[in-house]
Amino acid sequence: MSDSFFPRWRRVSGSAPGAVVQPDECLPLPQNIAMGAQHVVAMFGSTILAPLLMGFDPNVAILMSGFGTLIFFVFVRGRVPSYLGSSFAFIGGVIAVTGYAGAGPNANIGVALGAIIACGLVYTLIGLAVWWVNARTGGSAEWINRWMPPVVTGAVVAVIGLNLAPIAARGAMGGTTFDGVMALMTVLCVGGVAVYARGVTQRLLILVGLLLACVIYAVLANGLGMGRPIDFSAVSAAPWVGLPNFSAPVFEWHAMSVIVPVAIILVAENLGHIKAVSAMTGRNLDAYLGRAFTGDGVATMVSGAVGGTGVTTYAENIGVMTVTRIYSTLVFVVAAVIAIGLGFSPKFGALIQTIPGPVLGGMSVVVFGLIAVAGARIWVVNQVDFSDNRNLIVAAVTLVLGAGNFSIEFGAFRLDGIGTATFGAILLHALLSIGLSRGDLRR
């Protein structure tokens, strides 16, 4: 590990076919900007959808995703590639404590914000505890590895993609045959760029595929009248620069009791992210787990303080990294700066809402599928032995719990698919490992 606080990034071209750009390497500035923009685009669907489902201002969510990413970058000392965006784990709790009806601004947003801040505080304390343990063990995370070996982490990462599959499918199907065809056309656009494009264009397959699909949609819908046309009137009316609608938090014990337990799910999401990135880069990032949890927790508190959603490491960006093989952490700094700039633009807020639903649905199919494959890649890279019945049962049960969105309620606290699958995988592996040797536990 370098003695400097941040890495000394080594510049590489990244243009060679199949070239891997590691976290401590950097691309030329134009490619950095393009890749940063692609990561911002990748998180659009969820970071815009999550606040809309809770009645939050999308511009505030985008703005705080940028600031949250920079906070995370500082805490992990620029060594863990990650983007922080709106977490879906908060949606159920926020709707429960605010009574949000599902349309327009959330009139009780302050109550939710106070609970989100409290959740971020608990998450931060968990992170500090893990950070302290890692410091005492010299950065070793053997104790975590015993609880979450490759068979567990691979299943958890795969579950993130599979759990989101119904959302992608519903978005792709839309309400008409034309919507379904355009979603499939979007998949073909991205796939075509991934397979037939070369160089920088191939690296930007998500961004280029999205733009190409939007152009095709506009020609068919706006030009030929085959579908619902894109309406740009709100974009024309919106100013270029302006402040988003900030909100102040209100602290109520009942709301906090409902939302604070979400911290457990955020830990599971972040842990799965770190494990996935470790597998993709071939670098052990366990020493940064405590820093990552703490950075995410602080970012959640800062976001909630001004009216933003709780944030988490973003699965969509794992999908982008999987297919581009570019893990440079500087790309995420660029993405954060772009997001902050866009957060102060009401015109942008209006523009992103013109992206056709079928196009976003098709993009979700691709990106969420790449996440699921990233989990399978962890199994392959670590040579998980599925002739071992223990591994077979753990993986099988985890995938079904997550894909089926198996939920458990404990009073006011509800644990949905990803959380249930994550903790179910950890506990099931631990129970089935009783009496086995330490060597067996590493498999």
Are residues 256 and 114 in contact, defined by beta-carbon separation less than 8 angstroms? Answer: yes
| DSSP 8-state symbol, 94 | H
Q: Does residue 12 form part of some domain?
A: no
Range of the domain at 221: 27-441
**316 in a structural domain:** yes
pLDDT bin (cut points 50, 70, 90) of residue 220 is very high
In a domain, 51, yes or no: yes
Residue pair 393/432 in contact (Cβ under 8 Å)? The answer is yes
Strands 84-86 and 311-313: antiparallel
Q: What pLDDT band is residue 2 in, cutting at 50, 70 and 90?
A: low
Number of H helices, E strands in the chain: 20, 6
pLDDT at 72: 95
Asked if pLDDT for residue 433 goes beyond 90, the answer is no
pLDDT at 26 over 80: yes
Q: Is residue 20 part of a domain?
A: no
- Whether the per-residue pLDDT at 123 is higher than 90: the answer is yes
Burial code (b: 16+ CB inside 10 Å, e: under 16) for 109-144 equals: bbbbbbbbbbbbbbbbebbeebbeebeeeeeebeeb
Residue 270 has what pLDDT? 84
How many CB atoms neighbour CB 302 within 10 A? 17
Q: Predicted confidence band at 426 (pLDDT cuts at 50, 70, 90)?
A: confident
pLDDT of residue 194: 84
Over 90: is that where the pLDDT of 135 sits? Answer: no
Q: Give the count of domains, the chain.
A: 1
Is 259 a domain residue? yes
- Identify the pLDDT of residue 6: 83
State yes or no: pLDDT of 442 exceeds 70: no
Residue 46 has pLDDT above 70, yes or no: no
Residue 182 has pLDDT above 80, yes or no: yes
Give residue 139's pLDDT: 57
pLDDT band for 124, please (50, 70, 90 cuts): very high
Residue 8 one-letter amino acid: R
6, part of any domain: no
Q: What percent of the chain has pLDDT over 70?
A: 88
> Which two three-digit tokens encode residue 225?
């009248």
Average pLDDT value for the chain:
83
Please check whether residue 14 lies inside any domain of the structure.
no
Res. 44: pLDDT tops 60? yes
- pLDDT band for 1, please (50, 70, 90 cuts): very low
Please give the structure tokens belonging to residue 92.
Answer: 């159920």
Q: How confident is the model at residue 111 (pLDDT cuts 50, 70, 90)?
A: very high
E strand map for 20-170? 25-26, 84-86
Estimate the share of the chain in helix, then strand, then coil, as percent rounded to the nearest 5: 70, 5, 30
Residue 194 belongs to some domain of the structure? yes
